[in-house]
Amino acid sequence: MTFPAIALTQLQEGKGLRQLSFEVYQDITIALDQMNSPTDEQAALIKLTMEGKRYQAPQRWEQEKLLNLYKAKLKLEEVIELLGE
């Protein structure tokens, strides 16, 4: 048996890297739902931030927090898409 066949057999047997349970998948979708979507104003600020426009501290810290939250939401959406394939 070649290593690709062994690797796929291991995946099917749940050895090493394995699929998430449905419950964990649901937890990720629940987290994504709880994050909601940005308001129009938040989306505009996110766009400006991504263009490199920054406020002075302390507003800048909140601006960065908003951007990071948005990036996390995008990553979770990507995770859901990848796991759903």
pLDDT digit string (tens) for 57-79? 999 999 999 999 999 999 999 99
| Token pair for 30 | 């629940």
The b-or-e profile of 5-44 (16+ CB within 10 A means b, else e) is eeeeeeeeeeeeeeeeeeeeeeeeeeebeeeeebeeeeee
pTM value?
Answer: 0.83
Per-residue pLDDT, 84: 86
Per-residue pLDDT, 39: 98
Query: 71: helix, coil or strand?
Result: helix
Q: How far apart are CA 41 and CA 38, in angstroms?
A: 8
